[in-house]
Structure 1
Amino acid sequence: MQSAPVQPWYKHLWPWIIIGMLATSVFLSLTMVRIAVENQDTLVNDNYYEAGKGINRSLDREHLAQQLHMQAQVRLDKLTGEVEVRLKGNSQPAQLTLNLISPTLESQDRHVSLLPANEPGRYTGRLDSAVEGRRFVELLGEQDGHAWRLFEEEKLVADGEILLGDEPLKGDEVQRP
């Protein structure tokens, strides 16, 4: 009785299927590593520790805005790019700064310097491009050498208006005496 000659392993189909699956997974893994390295996520703030320490300074500015009874009505004109702020409260600074901060992409942040217009409490500035969607809206001013800040998360719409200073402070659960 003659047994069939045994073929070498490389002439069988199954070892090549297994090797092919392993080679494919290695190739795809290396491709994913390359994509991850070339397209890194942008961090809006890469120093979270310093940002965390700065919360007290931020709350001090927001407390000052509250003490001054500051409120602002912000209007963004999509067609002309004009930004108009109508400011109410006990502060009329020489200049305001409006920051429209994207929650995820620093490249979509917009910063506008606002100067007083022809009537009290009205400030105007200009945006280079239209801004829509979810943004952190920050309005910065100064009173007697102390900075104040109005800060809220808002959804901006074309030619819409938003009101700052109408919501309670977030992150200030413990009331100060």
Structure 2
Amino acid sequence: MNTMTENPKKPWYREFWLWVVLFPLILTLVASATMVSIAVLYADDTVSDTYHKDSRMYHYTAEQDERARELGLAGMLQFRRGENVVTLDLNGQLEYPQQLLLTMSHPVEEDMDRHILLQRSGGRYTGSVPGELQHRWYLRLMPELNPQQHLDAGWRLKGEINFDLGDAAPLNPAVQ
């Protein structure tokens, strides 16, 4: 008589060692897919300034800033949060255009950037700001009205505002 009882044969998916070997591989695939999804959804935004790539180096062009310095341009922006209005007092030696473009660039998300058309009325410029005025923004003022042609503008002024600290921001030519 045979005293050993035979274990009944289990299906392949119920074997312990199969899952010991496959579990780390499956976990790696899930983690990799998650990381790739995060990288694609939250990719870094592009830089929108006067930089150009020459071989392996990036160069900054300051011609617009130099032209603004030559014209003695400077400005002061004043935001009125309750009305979502911005006013600009611009000083300098130039023939003032009827319209200017103010670009408010979010430091992190390009999708949140705003382009505001400022109309001349009397001695100052005014415009309507869409959305809520909060947090920190980079400011760029130029006479070119198409944001995609910012490299063709004759001059530009730059500034920065943090709405947590105040509602006014000076605009000046960038300093290298």
1:16 to 1:60, Cα distance in 2 relative to 1, 3 A: closer
Q: CA 1:12–1:113 in 2, change beyond 3 Å: closer, same or farther?
A: closer
1:123: which partner in 2? 125
How many residue pairs align between the two structures?
A: 158
Two-structure CA RMSD over aligned residues (Å): 3.6
> Which whole-Å CA distance do the structure 2 matches of 1:24 and 1:168 have between them?
50
Corresponding residue number in structure 1 for 2:22: 19
CA distance in 1, matches of 2:174, 2:167: 22
Deviations 1:102-144 (A, max 9, x none): 23222111111111223x2x110111212322222101138xx
Say which of 85, 93, 97 aligns to 1:82: 85
CA contact (8 A) 1:103 1:134 kept: yes
After TM superposition, list the pairs within 5 Å mapping 1:49-60 onto structure 2: 51-52=51-52, 55-56=60-61, 59-60=62-63
TM norm structure 1: 0.69
For residues 64-117 of structure 1, give each alpha carbon's deviation from its aligned partner in whole angstroms, at most 9, with x where no partner exists.
111111111101111111110011221233222111112322211111111122
- TM-score, length basis structure 2: 0.69
Conserved 8 A contact 2:65-2:174: no
Matched, 1:73 2:80: no
Q: Structure 2 unaligned runs (5+)?
A: 54-58, 145-152
- Does the alignment pair 1:134 with 2:136? yes
Alignment of 1:1-177 (within 5 A): 13=16, 16-33=19-36, 35-36=37-38, 39=41, 41=43, 43-45=45-47, 51-52=51-52, 55-56=60-61, 59-91=62-94, 92-118=96-122, 120=123, 122-141=124-143, 147-157=154-164, 160-165=167-172, 169-170=175-176
Secondary structure of the structure 2 residue equivalent to 1:26? helix
Tell me, in whole angstroms, the C-alpha distance in 2 between the residues paired with 1:155 and 1:37. 28
Does the CA-based 8 Å contact 1:76-1:158 persist in structure 2? no
TM superposition shift of 1:43: 2.4
Question: What amino acid sits opposite 2:72 in the alignment?
Answer: H
Q: Letter of the 1:78 partner, please give it.
A: R
Q: State the one-letter code of the partner of 1:149.
A: R
Post-superposition Cα deviations, 1:36-76, rounded to whole Å, max 9, x if no partner, equal 47625252349x9x8426842xx111111111111111011
Q: Are 2:51 and 2:60, in contact at CA under 8 Å, matched by a contact in 1?
A: yes
Q: Percent identity?
A: 23
